[in-house]
Amino acid sequence: MKIAIQDLSKIYPNGHKALSHVNLEIERGMFGLLGPNGAGKSSLMRILVTLQEYSSGNIKINGLDINKKRKQIRKLIGYLPQDFTFFSKLKTWEFLDYAAQLSGKTRRKERRLAVEEMLEQVGLFNVRNRLANKLSGGMKRRLGIAQTLIGDPEVIVIDEPTTGLDPEERIRFRNILSNLSQKDVAIILSTHIVGDISSTCSNMALLHKGEVVFKGAPEELIQQA
């Protein structure tokens, strides 16, 4: 798994430059994208998951140009947007079962196994029969990550997952992410909270006003500060 971002810039139609000459190489494991509000994190993530166009530069995922191979790229990617919400009248397990169907799991038995494993993995097995929209905020966030993971993506893009979570839920979330990083997947996590990254990521970049101002291990950044 390899993501290569070369000289990437994004200028919005109103003239705002959200990303400026970004160069990043991301391989398997967990990669943290740190930056304050407005730094360009969401823009970069939406571009990576092919939901937004970029202005100039080049992005390849496993050698595939994301502009030319959109369909293939989308099959590889799981994306959890920052404002992920659901208006679902489904039970928690049904919600995940539906997500599994959408990801192409057609056999009932296969889905049942995948859904149950996923419910265990994110700690929602005990509330599997509760309506998804009746879950607590932290549980909803975990259901969001479960929905993202159930299609077995090779690239996982998660935008500000811990914003608004209480400390206990934040730790649960970090633990779920740490377990993932043992698989052969690339996980890109954006956050404005250093602690989310230092406890989970082996590599990171710091974005400031659309520019990468630091690349390396989180410990190096903390030593510099």
Stretch that binds ligand ADP, among 42-50, 123-131, 134-142, 174-182 (CB under 6 A): 42-50
Among 5, 24, 39, 96, binds ligand ADP (CB under 6 A): 39
* Token pair for 191: 């956050």
Element (H, E) at 155: strand 155-159
Does 66 contact ligand ADP by CB under 6 A? no
Choice between 19 and 122, CB closer to ligand ADP: 19
Does 50 contact ligand ADP by CB under 6 A? yes
Tell me the residue type at 87: F
Does 153 contact ligand ADP by CB under 6 A? no
Does 79 contact ligand ADP by CB under 6 A? yes
- Shortest CA distance to 206 belongs to which of 196, 195, 219, 221? 221
Helix (H, G, I), strand (E, B) or coil at 204: strand
Does 102 contact ligand ADP by CB under 6 A? no
Stretch that binds ligand ADP, among 20-28, 74-82, 138-146, 197-205 (CB under 6 A): 74-82
Element (H, E) at 19: strand 17-27
Choice between 48 and 127, CB closer to ligand ADP: 48
**Residue/partner pairs of 60-66 with CB below 8 Å, 24 or more apart:** 60/2, 60/3, 60/4, 60/6, 61/2, 61/3, 61/4, 61/155, 62/1, 62/2, 62/154, 63/2
Q: What is the footprint of ligand ADP within residues 5-34 (CB under 6 A)? A: 12, 14, 16, 18
Q: In the complex, which residues of this chain contact ligand ADP (CB under 6 A)?
A: 12, 14, 16, 18, 35, 37-43, 49-51, 74, 77, 79
